[in-house]
Amino acid sequence: MINLLEDYFELQNKLNVEKFRISQIKNWAFKKKITDINLMTDLPKTLREELSIDFHVLELDSFIEGRDSTKFVFRTKDGHFVESVLINEKDHYTLCISTQIGCAVGCKFCVSTIGGLLRNLSFAEIVDQYFYISIFKNVFIRNIVFMGMGEPLANFDNLKKATLIFLKEFDLSKRHITISTSAYTNYLKRLKEDNLLNKLNLAISLNASSDETRKSLMPNVVGSLKDVFELLKTYPLEPRRRITIEYVLIKDVNSSLKDAKNLVNLLKNLKHKIKVNLIPYNESPILPFERPNESDIYKFQQELLKNDISCTIRWSKGLELAAACGHLSRIRTFDMINI
């Protein structure tokens, strides 16, 4: 059996049919969300009888719906779990997609990294999170954030192939796809030079205003803050676009006024190119960190705003499902709680 996603780049050779037939099949599956070959009525009956196509590479294990988000747990063919979160925004849907099984970055505040990195997801497994969920929910998902489990730039080639499919087959806009990275400087250099991926939105997961704190929170990250900001200074940005600096605020770790002042110093020369997104830490029953109190969160924000740095607070959606930022895991949540 041929798999539409796994064999995407060589479908024509594999199916041995004319090019326009491949376009018809893709059109039914990706645009009309019909994956039953018998319903693809513009294909000749004989061809429909001959074709044997599998449309998904992932199997849905479970899903849980919250107020404004749904967490999906998928099972890969080799038996691992991958999580994605569909977020219901005011006027559109956003899907948070995983790019790896586990993660090697080792962020101390994140459950995705527990157990380390198992493997990269294939481009087909990355795309199928989107494909599966848009069929299952029968909605158009306008935005994608590569912000789920894994460091997307550590899986560069599959990220790029998946992005090509999102743009070409699902008609998504580059403006609506975001790569969130821990910004290893070697990954960032490669991204900067890639003329497709550097057109997507970029979010840097910073989380500290000194190398010492950053290293304690993100122990495996490669490169200093100075090197990261050197690279960002000349990062090619489309008109009216900005790089997002993500900063998870953790009580007694990186959320004091002194931390805010240090952050201002780091960012002051890049004001016109960046915006800061503060993410109050989402507490997890298996990690020791706490969310700062609200007044400290607002004081931190005020320090940035008064220094003319654009800054918003993201009160994460999906908290009640363990589907918020830093909560996605290759170990199913109910298993994790029993660890």
Q: Which residues bind ligand SF4 (CB under 6 A)?
A: 103, 105, 107, 110, 112-113, 149-151, 182, 326
Nearest to ligand SF4 of 113, 143 (CB atom): 113
- Nearest in space to 303 (alpha carbons), one of 278, 282, 322: 278
User: Is 325 a catalytic site residue?
Assistant: yes
Nearest to ligand SF4 of 113, 120 (CB atom): 113
What's the burial of 308, exposed, middle or buried (CB within 10 Å: 0-12/13-18/19+)? exposed
Beta strands in the chain (DSSP E): 2-3, 53-54, 59-65, 69-75, 81-88, 93-96, 100-102, 117-120, 141-146, 177-181, 201-205, 243-249, 274-280, 311-313
What is the Cα–Cα distance from 321 to 280, expressed in whole angstroms?
Answer: 17
Q: How far is the CB of 7 from ligand SF4 (least distance, A)?
A: 29
Nearest to ligand SF4 of 280, 326 (CB atom): 326
- The single residue of 6, 83, 125, 303 carrying the catalytic annotation is 83
The CA radius of gyration of the chain, in Å to the nearest whole number, is 21
Q: Do 292 and 255 contact (CB within 8 A), yes or no?
A: yes
Nearest to ligand SF4 of 56, 317 (CB atom): 317
User: Is 83 a catalytic site residue?
Assistant: yes
- The single residue of 96, 103, 107, 325 carrying the catalytic annotation is 325
Nearest to ligand SF4 of 318, 326 (CB atom): 326
Contacts of 101 (CB under 8 A, 6+ apart): 76, 80, 81, 82, 117, 118, 119, 120, 121, 149, 150, 330
Q: How far is the CB of 288 from ligand SF4 (least distance, A)?
A: 16
Q: How far is the CB of 148 from ligand SF4 (least distance, A)?
A: 7
Q: How far is the CB of 105 from ligand SF4 (least distance, A)?
A: 4
Q: Do 333 and 81 contact (CB within 8 A), yes or no?
A: no
Q: How far is the CB of 99 from ligand SF4 (least distance, A)?
A: 9
- Positions marked active-site: 83, 325
